Chain A
């Protein structure tokens, strides 16, 4: 799976950082960073949680 973030939609709610800290962080520039673009299957549940919990629908998963 590949994690895709639409930065034009990201509103920095930061809920993805809480759901999957291995994959997402807010960088020093104040933008959301994807730390692992193709996370392992073991992280799927967490990434799914980040997708569902994003208030602006900015995160998606490409298989």
Chain B
């Protein structure tokens, strides 16, 4: 009997799971639990439109308040789930209340890492949620000098947005070439050059050894002995999955909640999004993926399988996709690259920073990067989904 479904996590994956359950005709009790006080909102615009000031924070809400009526949710916001009892099928919340379930979908996401050993203080900020961007926007009003720690996608998007606001921006990165593990060194170098051309002081191959300022940040010290004065320091050094509340549950935790290809972490328990490690048939691995599209796809998949039950569940297969908007460039990436993949630019050029690149491993094309070439990417997405051979992918280029 399937009467009650609880979803823990009220961001993109949690909301899409709820929508899918209702789309598929589930008309029982549906509880959506989120630790933030806000109703579900979209994160990608936070580091771009909202930070630049072209959007107000409210524009990131997925639905208006009355847009939830049709979903008929028992929505419990601003309260954290603290544990789950798999035998009793009960989630316990921080306010002492419970949510009993027949099926559970876990989508508690991830939270930002902070600099180890550095005490919090004014002007030392992160960007993950709506409250973070509101605080950061406020700080930037009176902060001409910003130092960003970490040249990952978040750090670089924050850098581009701060430049759009006319601020003085320094970015600190541990790697010699930013993004090189994801895009490869050549394309990582291209992104680095783009930031330098846009006025960012990008320091690579260095780490932060100290943060100056007592009650408020005044700057940072780097491992090469230099010092950067800054009014605001933004730390973007990755995230940690929110799994602490599951530690005594009996579920398998290993840099995220480990799931099979059905998105199942245990009988009746499913997971999706940044917190989950779902086996993906497309690449035969189960990494934790922190991308928007992954959260949607896994949420839909988990919801469908929760309704279908173990006997009728389908296995997850998806070509990973992410994008990043920096300055006037849209970087789109599909598939999964590794450090030693061969990279061939099949359209456009590095000089123009408008290009399509294919990644080759053995006789397969395993990934595709497009910079300001969205149409080409669509062609390759189809080829990648089919597991196309390298030669076929290259001839696909000439055909288009």
CB <8 Å contact, A18 and B19: no
CB proximity to B under 8 Å, residues A1-48: 11-15, 17-18, 26, 30, 48
CB <8 Å contact, A53 and B374: no
Of the candidate stretches B247-255, B264-272, B279-287, B293-301, the one touching chain A is: B293-301
Complexed CA–CA distance, A15 and B42 (Å): 17
CB proximity to A under 8 Å, residues B5-59: 16, 19-20, 23, 42, 44
CB <8 Å contact, B16 and A55: no
CB <8 Å contact, A52 and B16: yes
CB <8 Å contact, B377 and A49: no
B 158-169 to A, binary, CB cutoff 8 A, 1 in contact else 0:
000000000000
Complexed CA–CA distance, A52 and B17 (Å): 10
Instruction: Determine the chain B residues whose CB is within 8 A of the CB of A55 once the complex forms.
Output: 44, 292-293, 323
CB <8 Å contact, B62 and A57: yes
Instruction: Determine the chain B residues whose CB is within 8 A of the CB of A53 once the complex forms.
Output: 293, 296-297
Instruction: Determine the chain A residues whose CB is within 8 A of the CB of B332 once the complex forms.
Output: 13
Nearest Cβ in chain B — how far from A39, in angstroms? 16
Instruction: Determine the chain A residues whose CB is within 8 A of the CB of B19 once the complex forms.
Output: 52
Complexed CA–CA distance, A30 and B23 (Å): 32
With contact pairs A53-B293, A55-B323 given, residues A18 and B374 touching in the complex (Cβ less than 8 Å): no
Nearest Cβ in chain B — how far from A30, in angstroms? 6
Complexed CA–CA distance, A5 and B220 (Å): 47
With contact pairs A18-B382, A30-B375, A57-B62 given, residues A13 and B323 touching in the complex (Cβ less than 8 Å): yes
Of B20, B44, B293, B375, most buried by chain A (CB within 10 Å of CB) is B375
Instruction: Determine the chain B residues whose CB is within 8 A of the CB of A30 once the complex forms.
Output: 375
CB <8 Å contact, B300 and A52: yes
With contact pairs A48-B23, A52-B16, A52-B19 given, residues A26 and B293 touching in the complex (Cβ less than 8 Å): no
Nearest Cβ in chain A — how far from B192, in angstroms? 24
CB <8 Å contact, B297 and A14: no
Q: Which residue of B lies closest to A28 (CB)?
A: B375
Interface size in chain A (residues, C-beta < 8 A)? 15
Q: Which residue of B lies closest to A18 (CB)?
A: B381
Complexed CA–CA distance, A42 and B296 (Å): 22
Q: Does B75 contact A (CB under 8 A)?
A: no
Q: Which residue of A lies closest to B45 (CB)?
A: A56
How big is the B interface, by class?
20 to 34
Instruction: Determine the chain B residues whose CB is within 8 A of the CB of A12 once the complex forms.
Output: 374-375
CB <8 Å contact, B381 and A14: yes
Complexed CA–CA distance, A49 and B323 (Å): 19
CB <8 Å contact, B23 and A15: no
Instruction: Determine the chain A residues whose CB is within 8 A of the CB of B374 once the complex forms.
Output: 11-14, 26
B 325-340 to A, binary, CB cutoff 8 A, 1 in contact else 0:
0000010100000000
Q: Does B378 contact A (CB under 8 A)?
A: yes
Q: Does B321 contact A (CB under 8 A)?
A: yes
Nearest Cβ in chain B — how far from A57, in angstroms? 7
Complexed CA–CA distance, A17 and B332 (Å): 16
Q: Which residue of B lies closest to A44 (CB)?
A: B23
CB <8 Å contact, A14 and B377: yes
Complexed CA–CA distance, A30 and B377 (Å): 12
CB proximity to A under 8 Å, residues B286-313: 292-293, 296-297, 300
With contact pairs A52-B20, A57-B62 given, residues A18 and B378 touching in the complex (Cβ less than 8 Å): yes
Instruction: Determine the chain B residues whose CB is within 8 A of the CB of A52 once the complex forms.
Output: 16, 19-20, 296, 300
Q: Which residue of B lies closest to A15 (CB)?
A: B293
CB <8 Å contact, B330 and A26: no
Nearest Cβ in chain A — how far from B160, in angstroms? 16
Query: Considering the complex of A and B, which 7 residue pairs feature the smallest CB-CB distances, nearest first?
Result: A12-B374, A14-B378, A53-B296, A26-B375, A17-B378, A52-B16, A48-B23
6 residue pairs bridging A and B, Cβ less than 8 Å apart: A13-B321, A14-B374, A15-B293, A18-B382, A52-B16, A53-B296
Q: Which residues of B contact A (CB under 8 A)?
A: 16, 19-20, 23, 42, 44, 62, 292-293, 296-297, 300, 321, 323, 330, 332, 374-375, 377-378, 381-382, 385
Known pairs A26-B374, A52-B16 / 5 extra A-B pairs, C-beta < 8 Å: A12-B375, A13-B332, A18-B378, A52-B296, A57-B42
